[in-house]
Amino acid sequence: MRILSTFIGIFLSFTILASTNEYKLDNGLRLIVNEDHRAPVVVSQVWYQAGSIDEVNGKTGVAHVLEHMMFKGTKTSKPGEFSEIIARSGGRENAFTGTDYTCYFQTMEKSNIELSFKMESDRMQNLVITEEEFKKEIKVVMEERRWRTEDKPEGILNETFNALAFKAHPYSRPIVGWMNDLESMTYEDALEWYQNWYAPNNAIIVVSGDVSPQEVFQLAQKYFGSIPQKKLPQRKPQLEPSQKGTIRAELKAQGRLPMIQMGYKVPLLNKDPMKTNTEAYALEVLAGVLSGTSTSRIQKKLIQSGKALSAYANYPMLSRGDVGTFEFVVTLNQGSDPADIEQNIKQEIQNIAKEGVTQEELNRVKANVIAGDVYEKDSMFYQAMIIGQLETMGYPYEMKDGYIANIEKITSDDVKKAAQTFFSDEGLTIVHLVPESTDK
């Protein structure tokens, strides 16, 4: 356990160097400042609680399309000028869209934080979406869909898996959107999305770096304080009905090797910090026991035996939509039997459900999890990203501070109970990708 003590010591030293302050403007905009004076750098992120989960059928992908259009000019700037100005100041910028949020960020020398705020406030209220620019950019998005999803076996596999695993929940839809929806999308659709969701009362600004929280708050007041809040569309509950049996599918796609994606419906982290979250942290540890290193169970069982080229387990602990799957993704070697791979994975889960895990496995996983958490907190960008993700998904950002302590509490019996409780065929979805020749 000495390695755990070392990592915890590093983490505690870090928390002394960093402190977090929170403010809220009268228009509903929230500002969270993570003060860290180790380098003269600042990361500024604007998070909108608007992702693919908020879309409707027929307009899938519009959240991601709007992300692209946010760089196409405002009433005071030309298309592409936002990126040019940031680059000239020595900064880096980009954006990303997820199921639960859309985020825009800049990494800059600390004196340029005002420039970031000035430009982000401009496009929060003054974005211009023209039909001409939209027609050009929608082609870029469609091409992105082709190379990320349609031309990649793992992409089309994951898309098919989600569409089957979720019957009613919007997580069944791809973030990039269905191609037919992109083909029929108009600039009015993107403008409607912007007008509905891009408002100060639906946004959180997270700043991490060598800054004074009070000065950042004053800048937020200066550039965002006068932007009027909007009446946001009503968000309806979107509950996934209970699964009553295994869902199986075979997918044919171009590729060289067969693949399997299988997943079980499992609980996620509870948004109430006062509630017990032992199950979620036990599942997090279980994912580490099963995959992640050369000594983990799935790697030893499938890769070292020559049955698979790659194999990993994944547990998405956080979600605004309150539903998720504990997943396995395996790329088989030629000649391997998918049924055998599935049985191997199930057998490892059954072994853990019967016997638990060893103390050596617990130590290894906890050390790896804690090390990863420490290294992420060493990055100003990831400090801000953790806060932004938690808050836009409905979790108080303070929950990040209890992550290590909660992982440390997990016992073999906790992992054993999780394996017994949540890995029934009743909640299993499995897709087998059968490769077709890439010469077609």
Residues tagged active-site: 67
Instruction: Give the C-alpha separation, 334 to 311, whole Å.
Output: 14
Place of tokens 């995959």: 291
Q: Phi/psi of residue 142, each to 5°? A: -65, -40
Instruction: Give the C-alpha separation, 146 to 349, whole Å.
Output: 36
HSE at residue 343, side-chain half, CA atoms within 13 A, is 6
**Is residue 359 packed enough to be buried (19+ CB in 10 Å), middle (13-18) or exposed (0-12)?**
exposed
Strands, sheet with 102-109, edge to edge from the N-terminal-most edge strand:
18-24, 30-36, 203-209, 41-48, 102-109, 92-97
Instruction: Give the C-alpha separation, 115 to 113, whole Å.
Output: 5
State the Cα torsion 380-383-389-391 to the nearest 10°: -120
For the record, the structure tokens of 191 come out as 């403008």
Radius of gyration for the alpha carbons in the chain, expressed in angstroms and rounded: 23
> What count of other Cβ atoms lies within 10 Å of the Cβ of residue 424?
13
Comparing CA positions, the residue from 331, 427, 332, 408 lying closest to residue 4 is 408
Comparing CA positions, the residue from 177, 37, 21 lying closest to residue 97 is 177
Instruction: Give the C-alpha separation, 435 to 431, whole Å.
Output: 13
Q: Phi/psi of residue 270, each to 5°? A: -70, 140
Instruction: Give the C-alpha separation, 15 to 156, whole Å.
Output: 41
Local structure of residue 301 (DSSP, 8 states): I
Place of tokens 């082609």: 139
For the record, the structure tokens of 221 come out as 């007041």
**Close Cβ partners of 94 (under 8 Å, ≥ 6 residues apart):** 104, 105
Helix, coil or strand: residue 126: coil
Cβ proximity of 257 and 341 under 8 Å: no
CA 139 to chain CA centroid, nearest Å: 25
CA 244 to chain CA centroid, nearest Å: 28
